[in-house]
Amino acid sequence: MFLNICLYLLVLSNFLLLGTARVVQMTKYTALQGFLLAALLFHSGHTVLTLAVLVIKGLVLPGLLWRTEHRMPAESLICPHRLVALDVIAGMAGLAFAFWLDARLGSDLTHNLFPKLFLPLGLTTLFCGLILIIGRVKAITQVIGYLAAENGIFLLGMPLMTQGTTWFELALLLDVFVAVFVMGIAINRISDSFASMDVDRFRSLRD
């Protein structure tokens, strides 16, 4: 029951992420996802890891994002509204595709390794993160999308943790990478120019 509620909330947070155009709101949903992942870990009995995930995914990374956002001009924290609906539809397609994939992959893999719903919902989170990266053109939303995608990978890796901690260590490395990513934006004093800049402007860098 607890597991199902957590997974339901995770899917909800994914669609909330996709459905909002405000970066500050998106940061809050990212923190929510971190808490949910920690709760899932607690449920499967990894107490130490729960604390680590809670601190990194629930507090440190959203906190860093939060700090960065406060230094940015207000207009750069709103994404274009016209893309939001499209993103939600794409997220739904991702959800459907994830369930189709789960069915196609066969019962032995999913039932022996993954608890019910773990695989499709992990994939959905991953897809939603990628859709955020693709659909939003602000630099900071790229980071948030990356974070969401990474949460999906973490969810997929969680059942594998019983067979060794390698997956978890890799996931932590990804988290550290995100931290460096965010600090790269925030600390290197490029926040003003970089944050207000659309990723579209990177085009001039091609060739």
Partner 1 sequence: MTMPLFLAALAIYAASGLCVLVPALLNYRKQSAHLANLLGLLGTLAGSLTGLCALILAPAGTESFQAPFGLPFGSFALSLDGLSRIFLFPVFGLGLLCAVQGYTSLRHERPSQHNLGAHWLFYLLLLLGLCLVLTARDIVLFLVSWEIMSLAPFFLIDFNDGDSRVRDASWVYLVAAHLGAVALLAFFVLFWQLTGHTAWQAGTALSLSETSRNLLFLLALVGFGAKAGLAPMHIWLPEAHPAAPSHVSALLSGAMINAGLYGIIRTVSLLADHARPPEWWGWLILAAGLGTALMGMLKALAQSNVKRLLAYSSVENMGIMTMGLGCALIGQSLGHGWMALAGLCACLLHMLNHACFKGLLFMAAGEVLHATGTVNMAQLGGLAKKMPVLAVCFATGAAAIACLPPFNGFAGELTLALSLLDGSSLATTERQMLLLLHFAGLCAISGLALALYAKAFGMVFLGQARSGFAENVQTQSWHSLWPLILLALGCLLLGLLASPVFSQIATSVTGLFPLENLTGFARAKASIGRSLMLTGLIAGLVILAVGAVMLLRKKMLHKRGIRFMPTWACGYQGGNSRIQYTDASFTEPLARLLGPLMGLKVSQSQDKGLFPRSAQLLVKAPERLRRAVYGPLFAGIESVCNALKIFQHGKIHLYILYILVTVIGLLIWGLMSN
What character string, x for contact with partner 1 (CB under 8 A) and - otherwise, covers 38-77? ----------------------------------------
Contact (CB, 8 A) for 153 and 171: yes
- Choosing from 1, 45, 48, 104, the residue that interacts with partner 1 (CB under 8 A) is 104
DSSP state of 202: G
- Extract the tokens encoding 27: 């940061």
- Across 134-148, b (16+ Cβ under 10 Å) vs e yields ebbbbbbbbbbbbbb
Nearer to partner 1, 11 or 130 (CB): 130
Contact (CB, 8 A) for 29 and 20: yes
CB 134 to partner 1: min, Å: 5
Nearer to partner 1, 47 or 193 (CB): 193
Applying CB under 8 A, the site for partner 1 has a residue count of 20
Q: Does 205 bind partner 1 (CB under 8 A)?
A: yes
Nearest to 151 by CA among 23, 65, 57: 57
Nearer to partner 1, 74 or 205 (CB): 205
User: How many Cβ atoms sit within 10 Å of the Cβ of residue 70?
Assistant: 10
Q: Could you give the dihedral angle defined by the CA atoms of residues 145, 147, 148 and 149, in that order, rounded to the nearest 10 degrees?
A: 90
Q: Does 107 bind partner 1 (CB under 8 A)?
A: no
- Choosing from 55, 86, 96, 134, the residue that interacts with partner 1 (CB under 8 A) is 134
Q: Does 130 bind partner 1 (CB under 8 A)?
A: yes
Q: Residue 57 contacts by C-beta under 8 Å, 6 or more apart in sequence?
A: 31, 33, 34, 37, 38, 151, 154, 175
- Choosing from 5, 55, 85, 101, the residue that interacts with partner 1 (CB under 8 A) is 101
Q: Does 196 bind partner 1 (CB under 8 A)?
A: no
- Could you list the residues that contact partner 1 (CB under 8 A)? 97, 101, 104-105, 127, 130, 133-137, 142, 199-200, 202-207
